[in-house]
Amino acid sequence: MNPNQKSAASSVSGHRAPVARYAGPALRASDIPYYELFLNAPLGMARVSREGRFLEVNPEFCAMLGHTRQELCGAGLMQITHPADVAASLDRLRQINDGAISSFAADTRFVRRDGGIRWLRLCAATVRDGGERPGCHVFTFEDISEHRRSAQMPKSARNTTARCSIPRQTASGPRILTAG
């Protein structure tokens, strides 16, 4: 390529480095909007092979688990799945590969690089290879760790209500209502 020419990937305003770094120079111009969605999604995203290997992961997913893209790509989904959740995850992967289901959602524990546990709500769907055969799967991951932690708190701790003051307009001017 002539140094004065721009590749399709480098012509995307504001995201030149990430697209080029993640996709490489072979990205077609028509693919750039979809790849931008993948890179900038507020959820973790991954393309996963039928065998359960990561083909591609986005930066948000890497951040959730503390891994680099290079560490995750080629690694198996089950390698980072909490041991107690592996059997159920393998069963869902088998079902989606067999065509018994076309998508699924599950709350699953994953092991971070630092050994910590992260609860993620994953949603998976099959991507067809141009025919009716499943080619790979697309996964989205939402971090629900905080939600799970608060759900496990004692009920008395969850139901405490703070006193709050709410201004209320009356005929004689503002009046403060105090709850509690």
Sketch the domain layout of the chain as residue ranges. Answer: 42-153
- Rg of the chain over CA atoms, in angstroms? 23
When pLDDT is averaged across residues 42-62 and rounded to a whole number, the result is 96
**Segment 98-146, tens digit of pLDDT:** 989 999 999 999 999 999 999 999 999 999 877 777 789 999 999 999 8
Domain 42-153: CATH architecture, name and number where available: 2-Layer Sandwich (3.30)
How far is residue 131 CA from its own chain's centroid?
Answer: 27
Strand-pairing partners, residue 42, are none
Strand-pairing partners, residue 144, are none
3-state SS track over 4-55: CCCCCHHHCCCCHHHHHHHHCCCCCHHHHHHHHHHHHCCCEEEEEECCCEEE
Q: Is the pLDDT of residue 90 over 70?
A: yes
What distances in angstroms separate CA 45 from CA 48, 123, 180, one per listed residue?
10, 10, 44
Determine contact, residues 103/80, Cβ cutoff 8 Å: no
Residue 177 burial (C-beta neighbours within 10 Å; 0-12, 13-18, 19+): exposed
Q: What is the pTM of this model?
A: 0.70
pLDDT band at 4, cuts 50/70/90? very low
Q: Is the pLDDT of residue 169 over 60?
A: no
